């Protein structure tokens, strides 16, 4: 556990954010490897089935992570205030309510899977295997929630390394099981879904063991749902889940504009979004560190440390942008060459390079927006983060619709910059005039 109410803010934030970065990168890498294994050893039907089931499960995961983020803010406040009974009660309430809710969602998902897939117009030749895959992955939802809730508890008390270890174990176990049972023994997509659920269950079991054996101050001593705390958890969690859902909806609308630009632009955009994912992940990890730091110090009644820590977090975000922007600017052609070969590759690389050349400079904007989002989450002002995300996403979608037909992929980069700038124009003055003095 790490008490962020004492010590130099900069080193505290960096030590907290680094394991989160590694964990998120590991998750991105695992997702890519999982798709490669399915596509190479089972076939394109399995790859298509996973691709169809992915967005459905992402909505479930967004709801789970929203609930856990809301609970994490309350736990950070309680830890900063040295209120261990409230800290334990928040975790107990989250686990009991969330487990029941996720079991109900899993059962409903198993029953409704065919209806969902018919609504998505899944082709008949892969309808059966997609239904089976989706049903099995729905059964893993309680495990996913249990791990995320415990990970939120560990992070709330300043321990970001332990969730990384369990995530690494889960990813390696999943990949190993896939290679043995799918690559070696030739099992199909049912096995792919089962290995995923098994890995999620293993990570949840490890997290529970660690909680009971090593983190006694966090371990609940009374298992009951506190209605007052549940109201706060749902209030925070529902806003966060809604905020997170806005982003993928915006991406779908932007992808529709990209699809009108032709095959080369589609291929280039899909490649550069992979680079964007790896670029944005550390910015989000630093922001999560800011959230935990601010919430702990708010609970401890240390406003002067909140200002110091927030400023240190923004400096970390800016420093990361300098490194990231320089790296992307210098290596963008080489990075894009990893995604395409053969005829038409030169055009894809050229289109993607133009986009990334602009984004190398623009990455500073999401670095700052993530910093402010982390501050407002830590202060418990989640409606501000929701409104900021809504404004940013709307302007990105509108800007893309106006600029992409005229400028191509660079138009999308300019639309992104406009959205982030508008978000800062809303959140920075609000901080200066309403929160800085407080």
Q: Is residue 237 part of a domain?
A: no
* DSSP, residue by residue, 159-207: --HHHHHHHHHHHHHHHHHIIIIIIIT---HHHHHHHHHHHHHHHHHHH
Q: What is the pLDDT of residue 276?
A: 83
- Is the same domain home to 178 and 256? no
Predicted confidence band of residue 129 (pLDDT cuts 50, 70, 90): confident
Q: With both helix axes pointing from N to C terminus, report the angle between 124-139 and 141-156 in degrees, rounded to the nearest 10.
A: 50
Q: Is residue 241 part of a domain?
A: no
- Is the same domain home to 159 and 263? no
What are 215-273's pLDDT values in tens digits? 888 899 889 999 999 999 998 888 888 887 787 778 767 877 877 787 778 777 777 87
Q: What is the pLDDT of residue 265?
A: 81
Q: What is the pLDDT of residue 407?
A: 92
- Is the same domain home to 187 and 274? no
Q: Is residue 232 part of a domain?
A: no
Compare 384 and 269 and report the one with higher pLDDT.
384
- Is the same domain home to 217 and 286? no
State how far the Cα of 320 lies from the Cα of 316, in Å rounded to an integer.
6
Q: What is the pLDDT of residue 35?
A: 58
- Is the same domain home to 147 and 8? yes
Q: Is residue 5 part of a domain?
A: yes
State how far the Cα of 93 lies from the Cα of 220, in Å rounded to an integer.
9
Length of the chain: 438
Residue 4 has pLDDT above 80, yes or no: yes
Average pLDDT along the chain: 85
State how far the Cα of 407 lies from the Cα of 331, in Å rounded to an integer.
23
State how far the Cα of 434 lies from the Cα of 438, in Å rounded to an integer.
7
Contact 163, 151 (CB under 8 A): yes
What are 182-199's pLDDT values in tens digits? 666 656 667 777 888 888
Q: Is residue 234 part of a domain?
A: no
Predicted confidence band of residue 368 (pLDDT cuts 50, 70, 90): very high
What are 59-87's pLDDT values in tens digits? 788 788 888 988 998 999 999 999 999 99
Round to the nearest angstrom and report the end-to-end CA distance of the chain: 28
Pick left, alpha or beta for residue 378 (phi over 0 → left; psi -120 to 50 → alpha; otherwise beta).
alpha
State how far the Cα of 171 lies from the Cα of 6, in Å rounded to an integer.
34
Q: What is the pLDDT of residue 117?
A: 81
Domain boundary among the residues 225, 259, 293 is at 225
- Is the same domain home to 199 and 273? no
Report, as an integer, the average pLDDT of 51-59.
Answer: 70
Domain boundary among the residues 225, 254, 274 is at 225
- Is the same domain home to 406 and 436? yes
Q: What is the pLDDT of residue 45?
A: 61
- Is the same domain home to 73 and 109? yes
Q: What is the pLDDT of residue 293?
A: 94
List phi, psi (to 5°) of 362: -75, -20
Q: Is residue 115 part of a domain?
A: yes
- Is the same domain home to 212 and 278? no
Predicted confidence band of residue 33 (pLDDT cuts 50, 70, 90): low
Report, as an integer, the average pLDDT of 372-398.
Answer: 93
User: Both tokens of residue 189?
Assistant: 């997509």
State how far the Cα of 83 lies from the Cα of 34, in Å rounded to an integer.
42
List phi, psi (to 5°) of 301: 70, 45
Predicted confidence band of residue 339 (pLDDT cuts 50, 70, 90): low
> In percent, how much of the chain has pLDDT > 70?
89
Number of folded domains that form the chain: 2
- Is the same domain home to 221 and 250? no
State how far the Cα of 390 lies from the Cα of 355, in Å rounded to an integer.
24
Report, as an integer, the average pLDDT of 301-323.
Answer: 93
CB-count burial class (<10 Å; 0-12, 13-18, 19+) for 253: middle
Q: Which domain holds residue 6?
A: 1-225
- Is the same domain home to 218 and 251? no
- Is the same domain home to 217 and 293? no
Q: Is residue 230 part of a domain?
A: no
Q: Is residue 4 part of a domain?
A: yes
Q: What is the pLDDT of residue 118?
A: 83
């Amino acid at each position: 556990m790490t008490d962020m109410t004492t010590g130099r803010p900069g080193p505290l934030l960096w030590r907290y954010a680094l394991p989160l970065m590694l964990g998120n990168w590991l998750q991105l890498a695992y997702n890519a490897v999982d798709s490669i294994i399915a596509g190479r050893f089972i076939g394109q039907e399995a790859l298509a089935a996973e691709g169809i089931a992915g967005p459905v499960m992402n909505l479930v995961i967004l709801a789970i992570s929203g609930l856990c983020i809301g609970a994490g803010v309350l736990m950070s406040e309680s830890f900063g205030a040295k209120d261990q009974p409230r800290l334990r009660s928040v975790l107990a309430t989250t686990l009991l309510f969330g487990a029941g809710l996720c079991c109900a969602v899993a059962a409903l998902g198993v029953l409704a899977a065919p209806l969902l897939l018919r609504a998505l117009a899944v082709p008949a030749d892969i309808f059966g295997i997609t239904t089976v895959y989706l049903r099995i992955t729905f059964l893993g939802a309680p495990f996913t929630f249990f791990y995320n809730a415990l990970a939120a508890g560990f992070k709330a008390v300043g321990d970001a390394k332990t969730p990384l270890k369990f995530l690494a174990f889960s990813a390696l176990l999943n990949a190993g099981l896939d290679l043995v049972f799918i690559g070696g023994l030739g099992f199909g997509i049912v096995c792919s879904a089962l290995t995923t659920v098994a890995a999620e269950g293993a990570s949840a079991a490890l997290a529970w063991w660690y909680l009971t054996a090593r983190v006694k101050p966090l371990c609940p001593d009374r298992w009951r749902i506190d209605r007052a705390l549940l109201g706060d958890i749902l209030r925070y969690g529902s806003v966060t889940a809604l905020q997170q859902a806005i982003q993928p909806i915006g991406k779908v609308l932007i992808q529709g504009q990209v699809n009108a630009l032709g095959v080369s632009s589609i291929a280039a955009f899909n490649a550069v979004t992979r680079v964007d994912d790896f670029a944005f992940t550390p910015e989000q990890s630093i922001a999560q560190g800011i959230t935990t730091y601010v919430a702990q110090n708010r609970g401890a009644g240390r406003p002067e440390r909140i200002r110091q820590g927030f400023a240190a977090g923004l400096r970390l975000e800016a420093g990361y942008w300098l490194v990231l922007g320089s790296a992307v600017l210098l290596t963008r052609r080489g990075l894009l060459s990893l995604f395409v070969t053969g005829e038409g590759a030169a055009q894809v690389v050229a289109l993607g390079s133009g986009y990334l050349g602009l984004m190398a400079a623009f990455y500073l904007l999401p670095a700052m927006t993530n910093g402010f989002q982390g501050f407002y989450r830590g202060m418990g002002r989640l409606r501000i983060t929701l409104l900021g995300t809504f404004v940013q996403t709307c302007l990105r979608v509108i800007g893309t619709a106006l600029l992409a037909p005229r400028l191509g992929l660079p138009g999308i980069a300019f639309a992104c910059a406009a959205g982030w700038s508008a978000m800062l124009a809303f959140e920075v003055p609000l901080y200066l005039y309403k929160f800085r003095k407080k």
